[in-house]
Chains A and B, each alone.
Chain A
Amino acid sequence: MDFKEKLLDSHLAFEQDVDLLHPIHKYRKNALKRFEKDGFPNKSDELWKYTSLASIVQKDYHLSPISDSNIELKDIKRYFLNDIDSFKLVFIDGVYSPFLSKTTHDGMDICVLSAAISKSKYKKTIKKYFNKIVPKNDSLSSLNTSYTKEGAYILIPKNVEPEDPIQILHFSTGVQNSIWLQPRNLIITESNSNVQIIERHQSLSEHKVVTNSVTEIYAESNSFIDYYKIQNDLLSSSLIDNTFISQEKDSNVSVHTFSFGGNLTRNNLRFYHKGSNISSTLKGLTILESRQHVDHNTLVNHAKPNCESYQDYKGIFSDSSVGVFNGRIIVEKEAQKTNAFQQNDNILTSDKSKVNTKPQLEIFADDVKCSHGCTVGQLDKQVLFYVYSRGIPEKEARALLTYGFANNVLESVRIPNLNKRIKKLIASKLGVDLGFDL
Chain B
Amino acid sequence: MLEINNLHCEIEGKSILNGINLKVDKGEIHALMGPNGSGKSTLANVISGHEDYEITKGNIYFKSNEINELSASERAHEGIFMSFQYPVEIPGLTVTNFIKTAINESRKAKGLDEMSSREMLKKIREKSSLLDIDSKLLSRSLNEGFSGGEKKRNEIFQMAMLEPELAVLDETDSGLDIDMLKIVANGVIKFSNDNNAVLVITHYQRLLDYIVPDFVHVILDGKVVKSGDQSLAKRIEDKGYDWLKKEIK
Contact = CB atoms under 8 A, between A and B. Distances in A.
Interface of A: 380-383, 385-394, 396-397, 400-401, 403-408, 434-436
A43 B71 CA distance: 47
Contacts of A394: 71, 73
Contact of B93 (A380, A391, A396, A403): A403
Contacts of B99: 390
Contacts of B51: 385
B146 interface: no
B101 A400 contact: yes
A422 B235 CA distance: 60
A386 B88 contact: yes
A383 B72 CA distance: 13
Contact of A436 (B73, B100, B158): B100
User: How many residues of B sit at the interface, in one of the four size bands?
Assistant: 35 or more
Interface in B92-121: 92-93, 97-106, 108-109, 114
B90 interface: yes
B106 A388 contact: no
Given A382-B88, A394-B73, A434-B101, A389 B93 contact: no
B211 interface: no
6 contacts: A387-B90, A388-B72, A393-B73, A397-B73, A404-B93, A435-B100
B37 interface: no
Contact of A405 (B81, B87, B92, B106): B92
B106 A436 contact: no
A390 B102 contact: yes
Contacts of B92: 403-408
Contact of B91 (A389, A391, A404): A404
A376 B103 CA distance: 32
The 4 tightest CB contacts between A and B, nearest first, are A435-B104, A407-B92, A391-B76, A404-B92
A398 to B, nearest CB: 12
B63 interface: no
Interface in B172-219: none
Given A400-B98, A435-B114, A392 B73 contact: yes
Nearest to A406: B92
Contacts of B108: 435
A389 B102 CA distance: 9
B50 A385 contact: yes
A283 to B, nearest CB: 13
Binding site secondary structure of chain B? helix
A390 B162 contact: yes
Contact of B162 (A382, A388, A391, A393): A391
B105 A380 contact: no
A56 B52 CA distance: 45
A404 B162 contact: no
Contacts of B114: 435
B82 interface: yes
A388 B71 contact: yes
Contacts of A385: 48, 50-51, 72
Contact of B76 (A383, A388, A400): A388
B73 A386 contact: no
Contacts of B76: 388-392
A393 B107 CA distance: 12
Nearest to A380: B88
A406 B90 CA distance: 11
A391 B110 CA distance: 11
Nearest to B83: A389
A383 B102 contact: no
A435 B105 contact: yes
A400 B98 CA distance: 8
A404 B91 CA distance: 6
B90 A436 contact: no
A392 B88 contact: no
B100 A393 contact: no
Nearest to A397: B73
A388 B82 CA distance: 11
Contacts of A407: 91-93
Of the listed residues A381, A387, A388, A390, the one surrounded by the most CB atoms of chain B closer than 10 A to its CB is: A390
A44 to B, nearest CB: 39
Given A388-B72, A435-B114, A400 B93 contact: yes
A433 to B, nearest CB: 9
A389 B49 CA distance: 8
Given A400-B98, A408-B91, A436-B104, 16 more contacts: A383-B90, A386-B84, A388-B72, A389-B72, A389-B84, A390-B81, A391-B106, A391-B109, A392-B101, A401-B93, A404-B92, A404-B142, A405-B92, A407-B92, A434-B104, A436-B100
Contact of B90 (A401, A408, A434): A401
Given A404-B90, A404-B92, A435 B101 contact: yes
Contact of B48 (A383, A389, A401, A403): A389
B141 interface: yes
A391 to B, nearest CB: 3
A381 B88 CA distance: 11
B118 to A, nearest CB: 14
Of the listed residues B71, B92, B103, B162, the one surrounded by the most CB atoms of chain A closer than 10 A to its CB is: B92
A127 B75 CA distance: 69
Contacts of A382: 88
A84 B179 CA distance: 56
B77 interface: yes
A388 B93 contact: no
B31 to A, nearest CB: 21
Contacts of A396: 101, 105
Nearest to B161: A390
